[in-house]
Amino acid sequence: MPRKKTKKKEMYSLSELMGQIESLSLELEKLGLTSYEARCYLAAAIIGGGGAEEIAEFALVPRTSAYKALESLAARGFVEPSSGRPRRFEPTDPIALLGQLRGDLDTTFEEIARIQESQEARGIPQVIYTLNGKDLVLKKIGEMLDKTKSRFIISSPNISLIRKHYAKSFERAIRRGVELLIIAPPFIKIPKCTNAVRRHSLIATDVVMDGEEALIASPDLGACGYTDNVLLAGHLEGFLEIVMSEN
């Protein structure tokens, strides 16, 4: 029976290994590694792991920089540090690491695809829309209140004027289970709500709807900035929650 041929292992000289480190480190940098991190991982893989000084010497990286690079690599799963002293850093198997990175990339790009699909259906969000005129500002506040599904926060020195225009909208919001939070000046009549906080010296009118849309209006409601950018709405909601929690 003929003997099965085995693939001959390729042997590299030291100069060839150094060349491989140079070229492969550039590829690893495309994955987000720094130059020192890439060189240290390759060195650890080539020599089969070792102490930071040993890896630094082979990778041609300063020792102090090698320690930082290896700690970062450990946090990202490229190497496994030992618990004993002196510490050793064992390289993660390249094929296993490839599978891990592919999994992470698959998850990332699947999420990007979901966001892209959602935004294509909704349209490209503008960061800030500007509305001028009290009637338009009040209309926008009313639209936001009427389409709120879970949470509506409003902080305004003009809450009485807004209540006058949208008393029924406030009532409907409460009936459909909306968490309605109001920040208003003392002694001013306000709509029925889930929670009310009284604050002196309110200037602007701030509105956040479901943590997705936000509006900031001038003191006289003559102009406002409106956004459907979730990040900006979230920032304003966080600020209003701080205002409500202050003693």
pLDDT at 8 over 60: no
Token digits for 152?
């509506």
pLDDT at 7 over 70: no
pLDDT at 2 over 60: no
**Which residues neighbour 185 within 8 Å (Cβ) at sequence distance 6 or greater?**
157, 159, 198, 199, 200, 202
Cis geometry, peptide bond prior to residue 86 (ω within 30 degrees of 0) = yes
Longest Cα separation, the chain: 101
Please tell me the predicted confidence (pLDDT) of residue 3.
52
Q: Write down all domains in the chain, each with its CATH number in brackets.
A: 14-92 (1.10.10.10), 129-245 (3.30.870.10)
Q: Stretch 230-240: mean pLDDT, rounded?
A: 89
Direct distance between the N- and C-terminal alpha carbons of the chain, in angstroms, rounded to an integer: 89
> ∠ CA(172), CA(122), CA(125), 5° rounding?
95
Residues forming beta bridges with residue 226, ordered by sequence position? 129, 215
User: Are the CB atoms for 72 and 37 separated by under 8 Å?
Assistant: yes
Q: Stretch 196-216: mean pLDDT, rounded?
A: 91
Segment 158-201, tens digit of pLDDT: 999 999 999 999 999 999 999 999 999 998 999 989 999 998 88
- From CA 101, how far away is CA 74, in angstroms rounded? 14
Whether the full predicted model's pTM is greater than 0.75, yes or no, is no
- From CA 27, how far away is CA 1, in angstroms rounded? 44
Please tell me the predicted confidence (pLDDT) of residue 125.
55
Token digits for 167?
């008393």
Q: Stretch 78-104: mean pLDDT, rounded?
A: 87
Q: Please state the φ and ψ torsions of residue 183, each to the nearest 5 degrees.
A: -115, 120
Residues forming beta bridges with residue 91, ordered by sequence position? 79
Higher pLDDT, 10 or 5: 10
Q: Please state the φ and ψ torsions of residue 45, each to the nearest 5 degrees.
A: -65, -40
Residue-averaged pLDDT of the chain: 85
> In the 8-state DSSP scheme, what is residue 50?
B
> In the 8-state DSSP scheme, what is residue 194?
S
Segment 37-50, tens digit of pLDDT: 999 999 999 888 99
